Amino acid sequence: PPLVLMDEPLSNLDAKLRLEMRAEIRRIHNQLGGTTIYVTHDQDEALSLADRIVVLRDGEVRQVGRPEELYATPAHLDVAEFMGFRNRLSGRVTRVEGEQATITVGDTLVTGRASGPLQADANVAIVARPDDLTVGASGVKATVESMEYRGREFVGLARSADGTELVFHNAQRLAPGTTVSLAVDPARAIVFPSSP
């Protein structure tokens, strides 16, 4: 067929079979040479299967592009969240220098790449993926609530003083109740205006 429609075909499969079927769907698609429209809410499926991704929100097209483009430079806050930017901190713009914006989050300065023009003192959100937060000597103060072992590392859930949940990766297990400083990688964080 010239067009194949798939609506979350892997949603009820276990993890191993999902990976195998993803490869098989890609192989069949390449063999047929037609067009496949594949609906998914799974970022990994979208990235691994797509030549082009269309992100929709409430029936509205938010962004269209190659997987690499959407992953590295999401144009909207909701697209960034779909692409794995799970950490979202609210603050105010303190300084803008070129493409970099520094914002005040509580009593901490955090820097990231501006998604577009930003004005000083504007309300914004800075987003980062869990692997772009590191436990260090400085950063956003948070209290560890839980740690999950994921094989090579631990994934932690911490909460800042204002109640914001922060997900981070760490090489060692941290006890619940531990206070940490989470530094945000300025090269990988993105700053968006607060309104979506």
Name the residue type at position 188. Answer: R
Q: Taking phi first (over 0 means left), then psi (-120 to 50 degrees means alpha), and beta for anything else, what does residue 45 get?
A: alpha
Residues of the chain with pLDDT under 70: 195-196
Copy the structure tokens of residue 18: 């999902």
The pLDDT value given to residue 33: 85
The pLDDT value given to residue 195: 62
Copy the structure tokens of residue 136: 């260090």
The pLDDT value given to residue 124: 96
Residues 6+ apart with CB under 8 A from 136: 181, 182, 183
Burial 3-13 (b: 16+ CB within 10 A, else e): eeeeeebbeee
